[in-house]
Structures are given as C-alpha cells and as structure tokens.
Amino acid sequence: MVSGVVLTHLHSDHVCDLSDLITTHWVMSTAPTALRIVGPVGTKAFVEATLTAMATDIGYRIGHHDDLNEGPLLDVVEVHPGETFAIGAQEILAGATDHRPVEPTLAYRVVEDGQSVVIAGDGVPCASLDELVRGASAYVQTVIREDLVKLVPSARLQDILDYHSTVGQAAATAQRAGVKALVMTHYVPAPAPGSEQEWRDLASGFDGIVVVGSDLTSLDLATMAVG
C-alpha cells in the first residue's frame, strides 16, 4: 500500500492522477490511515480543491459501505528548498529546480541504507539542481527530444523547449554530479519501440549507466541492475 506521495510541482500532467491515489488508499485501507502528500507551496490548496471535486464520489462511497464513516484521511505538508522530511525509512531533502514560469518547483534527494537517488521533475539545468544531485547514486530526470519536438509545426509545442531538460542537458547534469546512473523518464515524445538506443546515444556526454525505461522499470542502487 502506498503510504506517501511526493509532488515536484502542480502542472496537470504531474498531479492529474492524485484523486485516484487518494481514493484507492482510502477505500483499500483496512483501518483509518492517513496518506501523506508532500509538495511545494500550493499543494494544500490543490489537495483541498481535489477533495471538493471528489465530494460527490466520497458521499456515494460512504453511503454504500457500512464500514466507511468518514472521508479520506490526508496529511498534507508543504516543503521549501533545503528542508528535509521522512517517509518510512527514507530521508528526503527538497531542492529548488528551474521550471519558470512555473514556481515553486522541487526535486528530491531520497536516502536510505547509504544509497541516494535524486528525482527531478520538469525543468532546465541550474546550480541548485547540480548541488542536490552531486554524488548521488542515481539521477532521475524528465527529458525531451529537442530534435523531434522541432519537427512538429506547433508554436505551442515549441514553447516547451525552453523549460524542459533535453536528453543532452540531463546527461551533462549527471556527468557534472558524478552519479552512477541517469534514469530518463516522462519522455516527450514517448520513445518509439526499438528507439531506445537513439535516446542513449543522445546521452553520450555521460560516462555512466543510462536507463531508458518504461513505467515500473526498477534500478537496484547497490548493483545498478535494471529490472
């Protein structure tokens, strides 16, 4: 069972499934248990608005299930760059990222059993991200293929180029930080089947392991084995 959710920022494509997480955690918990939701300033207002939108559904479920007597229990925490918190055994440090005009945006350094991974959301390289990633075991970064985006004749799509990391920029951040592995995620566009090596080639500026994974790809930080 998921016990905590960590948000990097409040763009719709990063939070649109939160209502499903809240609902599933609520109805599948065998006893009243709070779901912890951590994110940047603005997260509390977003969660309150989400619960308002869910009010009708919450009422239906309480009316149907005899053992549901109250709505979802949530522990919502807003964090700032430099603050630390824990979810389970994991110690987590928040750091600032640059996704302007979207502000504030965060990345997180997660530490457990001597291993660390930095999970960054959308954004371009910046000094604060470099500092957060430095010396981590792995770095997870959303990436775009600038060459492919430029082929689409849409001015609005071209706009994403100035506030997302390209594959090459992510590789450069990983190289500066000295991490062992770069894990790419949230691709734009989604990699075509069989094109994974093209994405790896664009990350040639990084000397370590490059993971071009699909959803639920895993990486053992001790062995660097990809599953």
Question: Contact at 8 Å (CB) between 221 and 211?
Answer: no
Written as six digits, the tokens of 126 are 């910046």
CA–CA separation, 138 vs 154, rounded Å?
Answer: 34
Peptide bond into 101 cis (omega under 30): yes
| Catalytic choice (13, 57, 147, 207) | 13
Question: Contact at 8 Å (CB) between 72 and 35?
Answer: yes
Question: Contact at 8 Å (CB) between 83 and 38?
Answer: no
Edge-to-edge strands, sheet with 74-78: 4-6, 35-39, 74-78
Helix (H) or strand (E) holding 195: none
Q: Residue 51 — φ and ψ, nearest 5°?
A: -65, -35
Does 159 participate in catalysis according to the annotation? no
The residue assigned the tokens 């790809």 is 217
Q: Residue 79 — φ and ψ, nearest 5°?
A: -120, 160
The residue assigned the tokens 């190289």 is 175
Catalytic center residues: 13
